[in-house]
Structure 1
Amino acid sequence: MYKITFAAISLVFCLRLNSQELQSPSAFLGYELGTRFTPHHRVVDYYEYLAKTAKDRMHLMEYGKTYEYRPLYLAFISSSSNMKNLEEIRKTHIANTEGKEESTKAIVWMSYNVHGNESVSTEASMQTIFDLLTSKSNYLENTVVIMDPCINPDGRERYVNWYNQHKNTPFETDPNSKEHHEGWWSGRSNHYMFDLNRDWAWLTQKESQQRLPHYQKWLPHIHVDFHEQGVDSPYYFAPAAEPFHEVITDFQREFQITIGKNHAKYFDAKGWFYFTKERFDLFYPSYGDTYPMYSGGIGMTYEQGGSGRAGLGVLTSNGDTLTLKDRIAHHYTTGMSTVEVASNNIATLNSEIRKFYMPKNFQYNSYVLSGNKDQIRKLTSLIKKHQIEYSHSRQTTAKGFNYSTGKTGNHKVEENSIVINTRQKKSTLVKVLFEPNAVLSDSLTYDITAWSLPYAYGLNAIATNAILEGDESGPVETESSSLNTNAYAYVTDWNGMDDARFLTELMQNKFRVRSARQKFVLQGKSYNPGTLIITKGDNEHISDLGLALNQLAKKHFKNLEAVATGFVDSGKDFGSEYVKLLTAPKIAILGGEPTSTLRFGEIWHFLEQDLKYPMTVLDSDYFSEVNLETYDILILPDGDSYGNFLDSTTQKKIDRWVKLGGKLLAMGSSLETLAEEDWIALCTKTKVKDSTSIIPETYRNIAREEMKDEITGAIFKVLIDNTHPMAFGYDNLYFTLKEGNSAYEFLDEGTVAYIADQNKPVSGFAGSNAQREMANTLIYGVQERGDGAIIYMVDNPLFRGFWENGKLFFVNSLFMLE
């Protein structure tokens, strides 16, 4: 008995000694936290030190790497007894969400530094985890805390390095000083300039793709996303602002208030300013607060004033000095308060998350989707990552809402359709991602108001209130047989991104490829415009052409038809001028001011990661020195103040290059400047004024009145001239995501995609004035000029990388236009 007691006392003494010896961030780093920004590798060093020193209470896991090869980590912390049973706690928690077991623990996940130049949160995370392991360890008796100390290491390092290069010594609080003014490429975004806080649902970026499986594995009760906002803004915490999506439960709303009141208690005691219920809503599904909400948790954004402007200290507009130490204290306080509330509400959290996952009866209980196999494959790949279940339809007809026609009735179900119903665990997420038009309780929103995946992927869809069942196995994918090596040519369709990647790999490997300009029939089979043709005569330099093509076809899910002749049954023969030999263009993209980093990044990521095609970045700083004749295509991304860049000298340079055969692809706001010039065929549409009232608006109502002129990310039906090469691979109907109210007249020649007189959005918010202005306006078009062309993209087909059905317009603009 004495030996057992002595051993127990010794163990307690060692644990206490270990806790006392655990170094604070300041002690470990060698400087007081908040007096400088900590490089990412030193943050990693500290977390590794804690994991080694307090290994009974902490586990550190590397879950991936960024595009720039920096490690991504999750830290799991709890009491020593909980950590010994961590996997059992997780399994019990998941079983609780399925109504199988009852959990007695809370799971809190805290995400830091999703925006790299909102850099305080990673600093705060170090103090938070230290205190949770020491002075606040009582919170961990019934709580597991998961911490991601830096979601965006690439962006954070970009900011920290920039700040260290430009700051004064000591730091300068004057907001006009250089250290408070980042350049064009700020630290906010990741390597490809994507906003990772808008990528939770779409998973276009490596960081998001690697993080989500672990989030799905745990489904935490609470998720906090730590942010920063403008220097002069007080701290923001929950409850959020309207609009709330209708699927958010009463409990989720109420518990946000519970957490907010607990934060307020601490902020009030310190005399710190804060606000709630403003600006940051809970609607768009791809945020770090909304996605957790739609996954059953309590998702929250915490916003500290500061961001990339604040540095180590800055004067605010009211004359106060905001320091990094202040910012750390605020984020530390809300983080600790969050864990405290979770620890004090174990039973409620577990009861309510179990209720969240109980069966629900939504307006639409099944979604039937069919269409392009490439798009179906891409969509099912996405929803699998969200653990959304689907099956293959057995139905021949379904009664419901047709997305393309906007009508309700009986509709034929196409062969090989997939069915996604709401009789599954992720039913709420299914509704949010697939519903035709989300209910909007307030027009003043923080982000886009429409995103329905059937529209985004260009699929035929029916939403029905019936619970449709399907075949889990689905249709059997037929393997493409070995190609006839004696064929005259090999032919394949053109209607999706698999086709585009197949083409670009062929080009990279020096295959010569032709494209049909018109529909043709050969060997009894019909082929649409855009069809790819690889002839033996063009590719005599390729040994074993059939074998080489077969390998690439399998890689890109392509079926090739071997044909014995170029003499078609109807249409144009393979030697006709209407069967164009495609060339691999040299592509350049304008970077720097005045382009938007986000819009530039979408193109960069699309070409490098999605299309696997090379490009050259031409920065605006030295654009005047570049010989444009080196390039076949120049892309002007959306941005701001293009008038400063497109001065008369630059315009003459670009116009001369276009006339010689160059293709200018102008997107978004670059069109506003170009439309003013006489060498451009594009004309801005005259604004339509609302003349129903001449009574001046009250000051309070001005913002809402202004919304009559706005479009906040709404989906519009678009008609297409699919005989035009820019629209090869499309039917005559398309749905565009319109981010703003820019409106242009049809081109006299070359209008490819346009909104007709049906100018009401099919989904999302558009003000009454803006709707009228959208009638009979251009979406995409091409102006021939000299031997070249100007391609107009009013709407962005690459928006946030998730508008899959727009990508082929972009590809066609690069490869299919003569």
Structure 2
Amino acid sequence: MKFRLFLATLLISLFSFSQQVKSPSEFLGYELGTTFSRHHQVIEYYKYLAEVLPEVVQLKTYGTTNEGRELLLAFVSTPSNINNLEHIRKEHLEALNGNVASEKALVWLSYNVHGNEAVSTEASMKTIYEVVTQKKEWLKNTVVIFDPCINPDGRDRYVNWYNSNKNTPFTIDPNSKEHHEGWLSGRSNHYMFDLNRDWAWVTQKESKQRLAVYNDWLPHIHVDFHEQGINNPYYFAPAAEPMHEVITQWQRNFQVEIGKNHAKYFDENGWFYFTKEVFDLLYPSYGDTYPIYSGSIGMTYEQGGSGRAGLGVKIDNGDTLTLKDRIAHHYTTGLSTIEMATKNAAELNEEFSKFYSNKDYTYNSYVLSGDIDKLKMLTDLLDVHRIKYGFTKSKVKGLSYKSKKNETLNSNSQKLVISTNQPKSTLVTVLFEPETKLTDSLTYDITAWALPYAYGLDAVATKNIVSTSSNSIEYVPKVFEENAYAYVTNWNSMKDARFMTTLLKNKIRIRYAKEPFTIHNENFDRGSLIITKGDNSNVKNFNTILKTTAEKYHKQLTTTATGFVNTGKDFGSSAVQMIEDQKIAVLSGGSVSTLNFGEVWHFFEQQLHYPITILDDDYFNSIDLSEYTILILPEMNSLDDKKLEKIKEWIRNGGKLIAIGDAIKTLKGDDFSISSNETSKEEEEKDSISKPKSYASSTREYIKNMITGAIYKAKVDTTHPLAYGYDTTYYTMKLSGDSYKYLDSKNAVYIENTTKPLTGFAGSNAQKKQANSLVFATESMGKGTVVYLVDNPLFRGFWENGKLVFVNALFMVE
């Protein structure tokens, strides 16, 4: 009798508990799925849950966005686990030392990395409510980490746009404006960066803050919730080929098991889905691959919908896809994922530990040498990923990244060593491997990214572990001498560029050398900066500003009491030019690529720290371009004749135009001498008589014309102002099969006879066009200049070695 009374009381209390916790619909005041929730409303709901269930939900604010929105994590588990959260975390990370110490499964669910894929944040609220009310038994051996919105700036941009443009009631007609988002879409973050491609490069504020917490936890399972085209069925794991060879068999197998569990629920509801297609596991900077290379089961889930779907839209089969449908699907896979973690907690812990045990890699140390500033930038990235490294001054022999032959790295200066004898060995292998093995050339993203190329450093890969003698870069400071005639410093990296722009903003006048010179037995190459006391006699606190700025950027200033050089041109020569302050504008809107526009915008504001004006396509024709010295055309599809004529007249009058990638195609007319590098007639005829191809092979035939992010070795004319700070070799990231012929002169960087990339995929037809093709060049037009950047040097903000080319285009090219 007492037991029955106890059981009845327990059931009543459980019922009361579930009743006292408000559902998202009850809390928000509208039925979930009938409107889009703004970010602050979502955050308020999560804070509400933490307030009413503090023993089950613990919140952590891990940062803010560029626009000031809160980035929040919710840790959900039993009261006992929440009270011991830090102990669970530390116990779990013992696996990095090869120990299986934990019995808890850790699941991290990331929502809305693409802002206009807006359903997942809504689904997160429904999912967490279900977990804390109906699925509490799963939490006994599981901690679930919810990130309700990775990209709040983009999401609110989309939600505000949609609410301003939707019909009332909403219309399902796909032609209606509410299904056609504008140019400044909500997909990307504030700076128009795709945060789902930034996990490894960590160029964005949101990524840096998230990775700091993610690497504190390294969960067993990480899910990245997305949306795709409105007519696509739901996608979930297992992923498609190519899968990177470092992915373990168990990681592959468990994806299959999770997929089967999802399929069970989708089958019950009659929902369509697909697996093993489109979404591969190769490129390391995704929300599924980065976790996989860190030991997790990383997965992408894709719901049909995205920015076109709104609250409801008619799809090709005549059905209506609603926001409620989309929520239900993400909610189902989210719960199914947690269920699989709970059922397999012991195996997850065991296999996670195995992942961090000793492995057999082709190469076990990567040794890099080069400019000390570039080495420092790379170690800053390694620190974010908690990758261990050291330094050596010994000679090291291994596979050269330059020649792909065994060579000795002879430099006596500090060399950076990253070895695989550390927990992050798999990630090291992926980020540094000289050649990525492709199991399938049909891939969703770029196929090459090796960091020595990206940072412009000499490197060798060795099969042995290279010992190190120190763990930090050694800077040898020079004593700052006041009242010198001039201060001289080299020009090699973005730190040099930031040093320069900081001085310019402080009204310090700077010259640069157009010819190499030697002074006081020190050699200085083209582009070296010369700051004279005479040029800055009217600047108050000149010495203080210069010294403080030099210390900030670790600049080694050589002082001289004379402008008379040992060799080369004296400081008063016409070969020593003043760096002019520039008034710079960039075109936005129209057919401009939002991603490349964002790369330019972010570069100026967050990397170079130099002002830029954004001119929109809508009112461009009313702008007086004479107010600007430089105009940047990001990648774009078209430019109307009126705008083009306006730009050409401005160039002839002394303006400088910088055209990136596809923007070059919009520059039509005899004024521009750049032309496409097409295949020969003989090759075209040879292709035309080949055997007919099957319908099924059409996609394979198409990729023959593509280059999916391959790295090519290019030759550099070091006398060209675009190439100041570079040696005779440049590694360029090619993102398409487009190519252009050499100009008659002023070719700064170009590919010679090479057709095949050093690493990465290039289709057979695309390869034919790369020999004797242009990478970077300039030409004169009247009093002005056109700068052609065929390959985007600012790609995703991570191709560090291209950034100085862009700065040279701004300040060194006349």
AA at the equivalent of 2:413: E
Aligned partner of 2:786 in structure 1 is 790
Q: 1:665 aligns with which of 658, 665, 680?
A: 658
1:703-722 map, 5 Å: 703-722=699-718
Return the offset for 1:10. Answer: 9.4
Aligned partner of 2:548 in structure 1 is 551
Unaligned runs of 5+ in 1: none
> Structure 1 residue 755 and structure 2 residue 744: aligned?
no
Q: Is the 8 A contact 2:293 2:426 kept in 1?
A: yes
Q: Is the 8 A contact 2:120 2:330 kept in 1?
A: yes
Return the offset for 1:27. Answer: 0.6
Give the Cα separation in 2 of the matches to 1:394 and 1:746: 41
Give the Cα separation in 1 of the matches to 2:473 and 2:271: 61
Note the alpha carbon deviations across 1:698-723, whole angstroms, 9 max, x for none: 01111112222110000000101011
> Structure 1 residue 131 and structure 2 residue 130: aligned?
yes
Aligned partner of 1:94 in structure 2 is 93
Q: 2:669 aligns with which of 677, 686, 692?
A: 677
1:257-656 map, 5 Å: 257-396=256-395, 398-474=396-472, 476-481=474-479, 483-640=480-637, 642=638, 645-647=639-641, 649-656=642-649
AA at the equivalent of 1:439: K
Note the alpha carbon deviations across 1:473-528, whole angstroms, 9 max, x for none: 445322332x2222111111111001100110111010000000000111221110
AA at the equivalent of 1:651: L
Give the Cα separation in 2 of the matches to 1:7 and 1:66: 50
Larger displacement relative to structure 2 (15-24 or 46-55)? 15-24
Give the Cα separation in 2 of the matches to 1:14 and 1:633: 70
Give the Cα separation in 1 of the matches to 2:229 and 2:765: 31
Aligned partner of 2:32 in structure 1 is 33
Return the offset for 1:85. Answer: 1.1
Give the Cα separation in 1 of the matches to 2:735 and 2:723: 21
Question: How does the TM-score come out when normalised to structure 2?
Answer: 0.97
Q: Is the 8 A contact 1:416 1:474 kept in 2?
A: no
Give the Cα separation in 2 of the matches to 1:100 and 1:706: 49
Give the Cα separation in 1 of the matches to 2:585 and 2:95: 54
Give the Cα separation in 2 of the matches to 1:101 and 1:323: 45
Larger displacement relative to structure 2 (739-748 or 471-480)? 471-480
Give the Cα separation in 2 of the matches to 1:195 and 1:471: 39
Return the offset for 1:538. Answer: 0.4
> Structure 1 residue 724 and structure 2 residue 716: aligned?
no
Aligned partner of 1:150 in structure 2 is 149
Q: 1:489 to 1:233 in 2, by over 3 A?
A: same
Return the offset for 1:394. Answer: 4.7
Note the alpha carbon deviations across 1:248-288, whole angstroms, 9 max, x for none: 00000000000000000000000000000000000000000
Give the Cα separation in 1 of the matches to 2:281 and 2:715: 33
Note the alpha carbon deviations across 1:599-656, whole angstroms, 9 max, x for none: 000000000000000000110111100000000000000022x1xx231x22221111
Return the offset for 1:817. Answer: 1.1
Secondary structure of the structure 2 residue equivalent to 1:731: coil
Q: 1:159 to 1:751 in 2, by over 3 A?
A: same
Q: 1:573 to 1:10 in 2, by over 3 A?
A: farther
AA at the equivalent of 1:563: T
AA at the equivalent of 2:709: G
Secondary structure of the structure 2 residue equivalent to 1:538: helix
Secondary structure of the structure 2 residue equivalent to 1:172: coil
Aligned partner of 1:212 in structure 2 is 211
AA at the equivalent of 2:586: I
Give the Cα separation in 2 of the matches to 1:243 and 1:698: 23
Give the Cα separation in 2 of the matches to 1:593 and 1:652: 17
> Structure 1 residue 121 and structure 2 residue 92: aligned?
no
Return the offset for 1:101. Answer: 4.2
Give the Cα separation in 2 of the matches to 1:513 and 1:472: 36
Return the offset for 1:399. Answer: 2.6
AA at the equivalent of 2:369: S
Give the Cα separation in 1 of the matches to 2:147 and 2:612: 34
Note the alpha carbon deviations across 1:723-742, whole angstroms, 9 max, x for none: 11111000010000000011
Secondary structure of the structure 1 residue equivalent to 2:215: helix
AA at the equivalent of 2:593: S
Return the offset for 1:536. Answer: 0.7
Aligned partner of 1:59 in structure 2 is 58
Give the Cα separation in 2 of the matches to 1:422 and 1:652: 56
Give the Cα separation in 1 of the matches to 2:380 and 2:516: 32
Give the Cα separation in 2 of the matches to 1:724 and 1:780: 10
> Structure 1 residue 235 and structure 2 residue 231: aligned?
no
Q: Is the 8 A contact 1:480 1:554 kept in 2?
A: no
Q: 1:8 to 1:568 in 2, by over 3 A?
A: farther
Note the alpha carbon deviations across 1:82-109, whole angstroms, 9 max, x for none: 1111111111111133223421110000
Larger displacement relative to structure 2 (544-553 or 79-88)? 544-553
Secondary structure of the structure 2 residue equivalent to 1:735: strand
Q: Is the 8 A contact 1:485 1:544 kept in 2?
A: no
Alignment length (residue pairs):
808
Q: 1:517 to 1:39 in 2, by over 3 A?
A: same
Note the alpha carbon deviations across 1:294-348, whole angstroms, 9 max, x for none: 0000000000000000000000011000000000000000000000000000111
Secondary structure of the structure 2 residue equivalent to 1:621: helix
Give the Cα separation in 2 of the matches to 1:567 and 1:226: 64
Give the Cα separation in 2 of the matches to 1:723 and 1:357: 49
Give the Cα separation in 1 of the matches to 2:473 and 2:778: 40
